[in-house]
Structure 1
Amino acid sequence: MTERRFKLATAQYPIDRLEGWQAYTAKVSGWVEAAVAEGARLLVFPEYGAMELASLFPAPVPSDLTGSLEAVASLEPEVVAFHEGLARRFGVYILGASLPVRAGENRYHNRAWLYGPEGTKDYQDKIVMTRFEREEWGVSGASELKLFVTSLGRLGVCICYDVEFPLLARAQVEAGAELILAPSCTETLRGYWRVRVGAQARALENQCLAVHSPTVGDAPWSPAVDANRGAAAVYGPPDLDFPDDGVLALGELDKPSWVYAEIDLDRVAEVREQGAVLNHRHWPEQMTVAASGITRVTV
């Protein structure tokens, strides 16, 4: 049975230089424990938050872009097993911080795993790569979008840049998604705002909820995640019982913390049926006109 109402926690997660694997597990466990203590049932961590694991390796790995990618990817089995155990232990859903994973010889994907309280898990790979990922890091885009059917509703995951492209989230929504999770890692305020505007636009046009989780803070030892800006938030459509600006919850910029929101999926269903506007229902109307071509005129 689906829980239509629950509490969600989305992280403003700091990148730390860690002394060892136990320091990492203690840090993440502490974050999960804190959210669970507040009653959160779904916990969302950001894109590339797992890159702090590069600090566990000896020099020059942490300061080498390619070396840190390879090192963190090698830890995927341990990271997955650890988070799977956390989700079971606390009886919650966890979208773990994304990490690079091997996708063939000298190929990597940017992967976010979703862990369920019963030991279930699956992942969403990032679809569209940023210039940094393409040109400097050699991370490639995947080609499969997924819908996660959970006891907390139907979720889609659009990793960072992906949430800036409307057709990706739309495909997930047409498959049934009511929430879009948008983990991010942005080094500038411009980058943060691009992801934020994208998340808010997806919530507006699909009349759904969009959950943003960024990395925060400086990690000068890492060429991959050296600077991190952002504020976690939960956005909805500005209509009916939702806030006038669509912002259900918003954190303090760049401050490590959880941001909490009470989720009511019945409000999503209601706004799609009875809203002052019906963006979700009217989406196909634009497609017919756009497909018919453009009439060029001179004035």
Structure 2
Amino acid sequence: MRIGLLQLTSSDNPGENLARTIALIRHGASKGARFIATPEVTNCVSTSRTHQTAVLQTEGEDRHLEELCGLARSLGIWLSIGSLALKSGDRFVNRSFMIDPRGEVIARYDKIHMFDVEISPDETYRESDAYTAGDRAVMVPVEEAKIGLSICYDLRFPQLYRALAQAGATVLLVPAAFSAVTGEAHWHTLLRARAIETGCFIVAAAQVGTHPATRGKSRQTYGHSLVVNPWGEIISDAGTEPRLTIVDLDLSEVDKARQRIPSLSHDRDFEGP
């Protein structure tokens, strides 16, 4: 299964971001990728709620979704939009989309775990102030793979990934816009841990660098889009520049890893402390 990962430095200008995203997806398809994944908030990285209110659209109005569905159809590829920031009533949602080669949305996933943290006095996030959290896990068949969906901060909640793996997932997507500070400390370790615990491939397309902002503060993200195999080995690391990465997945490695360490079938009930 040949896949492509997009590593982006999205700004707070959705139109500019769309043009760059389309160019990289076309490049990935020209390299033979049948499945391409984009990062979290592909359409707009912004710290300003005022600006988000001005530029974000509902799902039915969003130009990113419309054009990327058309692109998937014209290229005949599977496309995972890691997430789009969208309006939903008087709030926002952080929503992932799986698009099939006919250009149809076959699955949606709303980020479950809200990023409400204080990394430092100068870097604080309160996603739940404006975004509505999802409440269900989503898995979708893509050719010979079964793909579990997640977004960024979900990575810190292993129970989600275990549930997906026990339901049959063989590939777990973790599109992200990880903080540069927490990324350096935790990104590689957490992704390897989720792969080892589940015996799944991890495919994590990420935002990277300094994100231009016309309003509010610019934001720094860590990059290092990763692919990790089911044994916990990193087989691709995109580093710290915007780029396309092409990786071939051997899905037979999933069964091999789970046969060696069959921990998904070894759960025990126990009383809490």
For 2:122, the equivalent position in structure 1 comes to: none
**CA 1:7–1:187 in structure 2 vs 1: closer, same or farther (change >3 Å)?**
same
Residue type of the alignment partner of 1:292 = E
Matches of 1:96 and 1:224, distance apart in 2: 25
- Given candidates 9, 22, 28, the residue that maps to 1:14 is 9
Alpha-carbon deviation of 1:224?
Answer: 6.8
The one-letter code matched in structure 1 to 2:233 is G
The answer to whether the 8 A contact 2:41-2:84 is kept is yes
Q: CA deviation at 1:271?
A: 1.9
1:1-299 aligned at under 5 Å gives the runs 6-16=1-11, 21=15, 23-51=16-44, 65-74=48-57, 76=59, 77=61, 78-104=63-89, 106-121=90-105, 122-131=107-116, 132-134=125-127, 137-191=129-183, 193-221=185-213, 223=216, 226-238=219-231, 246-252=233-239, 254-273=240-259, 275=260, 277-282=261-266, 284-285=267-268, 288=269, 291-294=270-273
Q: Secondary structure at the match of 1:43?
A: strand
Q: Which protein has the bigger helix share?
A: 1
Alignment check: 8 A CA contact 2:146 2:171 kept: yes
Shift of 1:123: 1.3
How many percent identity over aligned positions?
24
What one-letter code is carried by the residue in structure 1 that aligns with 2:91?
R
Counterpart CA distance in 1 for 2:230 and 2:42 is 28
C-alpha distance 261-208 of structure 1, shift in aligned 2 (>3 A)? same
Report the alpha carbon displacement of residue 228 of structure 1 after superposing the two structures with TM: 1.9
Deviation at 1:179, TM superposition (A): 0.5
Structure 2: gaps (5+ residues): 117-124
Q: How many angstroms apart in 2 are the aligned matches of 1:140 and 1:9? A: 30
Q: CA deviation at 1:71?
A: 3.2
- Native 8 Å contact 1:192 1:230 kept in 2: no
Asked if structure 1 preserves the Cα contact closer than 8 Å seen for 2:174 and 2:203, the reply is yes
Is the 2:166–2:264 contact (alpha carbons within 8 Å) kept by the matching residues of 1?
A: no
SS of the residue 1:117 aligns to: coil
Give the TM-score of the pair, scaled to structure 1.
Answer: 0.79
Distance 1:200 1:32 in 2: 26
CA distance in 2, matches of 1:224, 1:50: 17
Residue type matched to 1:13 in 2?
Answer: L
For 2:217 and 2:130, the matched residues in 1 are separated by 12
Q: Which amino acid aligns with 1:217?
A: G
Any idea what SS the aligned residue of 1:259 has? strand
Q: Hey, what does 2:121 align to over in structure 1?
A: none
Contact in 1 for aligned 2:8/2:206 (Cα 8 Å): yes
CA deviation digits over 1:144-185, x for unaligned, max 9? 211112214110111001011011111111221110000010
Whose radius of gyration is greater, 1 or 2?
1
The TM-score normalised by the length of structure 2 is 0.86
Whole-angstrom CA distance in 1 between matches of 2:75 and 2:93: 29
Is residue 187–residue 225 contact of structure 1 (8 Å, CA) maintained in 2? no
Quick check: 120-129 or 189-198, which moved more? 189-198
The 8 Å contact of residues 107 and 139 in structure 1, kept in 2 or not, is answered as yes
How far is the alpha carbon of 1:68 from its aligned partner?
2.4
- Residue-pair matches, total: 261
The answer as to whether partners of 2:203 and 2:228 remain within 8 angstroms in 1 is yes
